[in-house]
Structure 1
Amino acid sequence: MATKTTIFLTGATGYIGGAVLARLLSHPSASTFDITVLVRNAEKAKILESKFGVKAVVGNHAELDKVESLAENAHVVFELAESDNVPFIKAILSGLRKRHAKLGDLPILIHTSGTGLLTDDARGEYATETIYDDLNVEQYKAIPDTALHRDVDTLVINADVEGYARTYIVLPSTIYGIAKHPLTEAGVSNPHSIQIPTLIKAALARKRAGVVGKGKALWPDVHIDDIADLYIVLYDAIVANPEKVGHGWEGVFYGENGEHTWYQISKAIGEALVALGITTDPEPTPFTVEDFEKYFGGERWGWYSGTNSRCRANRARALGWKPKYTTEDMLKSIRPEVEVYAKKQ
């Protein structure tokens, strides 16, 4: 009988986490996986256990003792829910440290960050020429400690440097597409992303597409199916030959397959609004500070939709990752999303 691989996965009911869990459940080695997830919703926990054969622990990310214990009991942790929760990631790392001390094995942590790490303060006024390459370790090391996600990413990398875990960080960019897999069909996992839907909901409320500044800033994009595949490609490569896969400072993997301006997204939203008869003009108008408060939770996240974040996933592709969907597909995906949220109004 094959030895079971103990896996602790966070974010099972989320957009990325659900897509990755669905792939683990259909993985060629699925019968050897012993998967545990932490979910807040007891009803979803029941579905995960009865329909999908996953051990579901009911709890939340503030229950740090529970998080630590679940991490300690797993050889592999897929952290797919939190990019900025320092106490939460410390609890996971504490569990992995205890496991290493007790069993002597080297647990694996695959953590989710994001290309928000690479952002500037362009406010939509210009496109930067700075492009980050995930093969360029020194460039990544030079990112300031004040950058978004940096405090958590540093904790993850330090665990690798200290030698009690092998750590890897995946940084998705603008993720798009309505996720379709057994977990979304069962009502367990969220089928929608955050960035583009936030702009869509603001546009529907304004009855006009909006944009930050001139919309000139650039961001990468990646389809939900492609980014979920990256986690599996990475995991399979680690299992096949861990010495051939960079980890720690050399275990950073950007997730992108093309890039877009913020204006392109806003214009596509505007065109969808026209098609649905919500407005007669597809041209986006600039968001105001009042809009930021109304639709984005304040200026910090309002201006965020005018930042640059440019990168190339060369390390990810060197592993054998082959994303299929392009920026053109991203722009085509916007109208179906607008239609979904228009119906919810």
Structure 2
Amino acid sequence: MSTKTIIFLTGATGYIGGTILQRLLSHPKADTFVINALTRDLNKAAQLSSLGVKTVIGSHSDLDKLEDSAAEADIVITAADCDDVSAATAILRGQKKKFLETGKAPILIHTSGTGVLVDNAKGMYASDVVYSDTDISLIETLKPSQPHRPVDILVSEAGAEGYVKTHIVLPSTIYGIAQGSLFDKGISNPQSVQVPALIIGGWNRGQGGMIGQGKNIWPCVHIEEIGDLYMVLFDALVSGQTIPNGREGFYFGESDHYLVYDLAKSISVALAELGHSKSEEPIPFTDDDRQKYLGGRYVLAGNSRCRADRARALGWKPSKTTKDLLASVKPELKALLASGRIKE
């Protein structure tokens, strides 16, 4: 019987999941892990196999595979679609099966996001409401209709039942180009979503901008530092530490806060330098612009304010600030050009 820790990871070819997998592969105790990663891409599965990662060929739609893989694992780390209730239910069903067979509660590290906190400001005002990951009663006032909340509730309640130890990581605006062999080989996606969305929208419109006046506030975190948070949490768990889980198991990924206008301004300046913004001053995306250039989405339109108090108490030490976020815009733009996602 193997004494190795079996890990099941979803989202391995993504931005966050690839970062987690990169850390697991280079972990000092990597030889004590068996990593099973879900992917639908046969070519990427072959590449992952060459790195010593076992693959499960499938997607979130393959509920039986999710259940079986979770039932086999000691630790499940989800970094794919955080709004897929059916997939989350299948994974938890597998973990409950593991508990009933062994009498030991397996571990779930679930990736959500601070979008769960977002309000309807539409860029017109800042909010004074700041959530702490230690203030569970305030988190529990969030409506079930909030983004990501249905799965967060499902995971938290499963942890409260006791058959699984659940930990929910909630990254904020993640920025920076992910580094490592998984990204160099094209196995995992090296870029985030929110900042590139505003860059691409401004590039295609020919003018940088934001929703409303950009008076709303968001937290931010660099991809390497959110990777650090997952590993701080992971290391605490595999070492046998008793850390907050279940109802208490929320961990915000926040290193600083920024005014969305300031991000839009940095994007406008970068675009103007390349002749793709009429001025360095950002202007609002109209409803028509939003449909045409942002895919109909309200990108970074509300307030999402939080403090990573529990995450820091666990030993996470992010040091990057809003200055680093704004400085990341030009490299992000260059990467989008290099990848062909925007064209000169």
TM bucket normalised to smaller: over 0.9
Q: 1:280 Cα shift?
A: 4.2
Distance 2:191 2:317 in 1: 22
Q: Deviations over 1:181-216 (max 9, x none)?
A: 110011100000000101111011011101111100
Matches for 1:92-171 after TM superposition, within 5 Å: 92-171=91-170
Q: Deviations over 1:6-56 (max 9, x none)?
A: 000010000000001000111111000000001011000000001x10001
* Amino acid paired to 1:202: G
What SS is found at the alignment partner of 2:27?
Answer: coil
Partner in structure 1 of residue 60 of structure 2: 61
Q: Decide which of 319, 328, 344 is 2:323's aligned counterpart.
A: 328
User: In the alignment, does 2:192 pair up with 1:197?
Assistant: no
User: In the alignment, does 2:86 pair up with 1:91?
Assistant: no
Distance 1:241 1:103 in 2: 17
Would you say how many aligned residue pairs link Structure 1 and Structure 2? Answer: 340
User: Please, which runs of 5 or more residues in structure 1 have no aligned partner?
Assistant: none
The question of whether the paired residues in 1 share the 8 Å contact of 2:202 and 2:277 is answered with no
The question of whether the paired residues in 2 share the 8 Å contact of 1:2 and 1:32 is answered with no
What SS is found at the alignment partner of 2:37?
Answer: strand
Partner in structure 1 of residue 333 of structure 2: 338
Distance 2:277 2:93 in 1: 53
Q: 1:2 Cα shift?
A: 8.3
Q: 1:82 Cα shift?
A: 1.8
Partner in structure 2 of residue 213 of structure 1: 212
Distance 2:100 2:121 in 1: 46
Partner in structure 2 of residue 310 of structure 1: 305
Q: 1:287 Cα shift?
A: 0.5
What SS is found at the alignment partner of 2:55?
Answer: strand
User: In the alignment, does 2:30 pair up with 1:35?
Assistant: no
The question of whether the paired residues in 2 share the 8 Å contact of 1:204 and 1:342 is answered with no
Distance 2:132 2:279 in 1: 38
Distance 1:90 1:76 in 2: 16
What SS is found at the alignment partner of 2:198?
Answer: helix
What SS is found at the alignment partner of 2:316?
Answer: coil
Distance 1:133 1:305 in 2: 20
The question of whether the paired residues in 2 share the 8 Å contact of 1:167 and 1:248 is answered with yes
The question of whether the paired residues in 1 share the 8 Å contact of 2:106 and 2:163 is answered with yes
The question of whether the paired residues in 1 share the 8 Å contact of 2:16 and 2:79 is answered with yes
Partner in structure 1 of residue 263 of structure 2: 265
The question of whether the paired residues in 1 share the 8 Å contact of 2:7 and 2:75 is answered with yes
Distance 1:137 1:272 in 2: 40
Distance 1:182 1:199 in 2: 27
Q: 1:338 Cα shift?
A: 1.3
What SS is found at the alignment partner of 2:318?
Answer: coil
* Amino acid paired to 1:83: C
Q: Deviations over 1:33-92 (max 9, x none)?
A: 000001011000000001x10001211110111111111110100111121000010010
Q: Deviations over 1:234-258 (max 9, x none)?
A: 0111222432x10011110000110
The question of whether the paired residues in 2 share the 8 Å contact of 1:258 and 1:326 is answered with yes
Q: 1:277 Cα shift?
A: 2.4
- Comparing 269-278 with 19-28, greater Cα deviation is found at 269-278
* Amino acid paired to 1:284: P
The question of whether the paired residues in 2 share the 8 Å contact of 1:120 and 1:308 is answered with yes
Q: Which aligned runs of 4 or more in structure 1 are off by greater than 3 angstroms?
A: none
User: Please, which runs of 5 or more residues in structure 2 have no aligned partner?
Assistant: none
Q: 1:324 Cα shift?
A: 2.7
What SS is found at the alignment partner of 2:158?
Answer: helix
TM-score under structure 2 length normalisation: 0.96
Cα RMSD between the aligned structures? 1.3
User: In the alignment, does 2:243 pair up with 1:248?
Assistant: no
Distance 2:8 2:30 in 1: 14
User: In the alignment, does 2:9 pair up with 1:14?
Assistant: no
The question of whether the paired residues in 2 share the 8 Å contact of 1:12 and 1:189 is answered with yes
What SS is found at the alignment partner of 1:12?
Answer: coil
Distance 1:235 1:59 in 2: 25
Distance 2:27 2:337 in 1: 36
Distance 1:221 1:107 in 2: 30
Distance 1:239 1:8 in 2: 14
Distance 1:279 1:176 in 2: 22
* Amino acid paired to 1:48: L
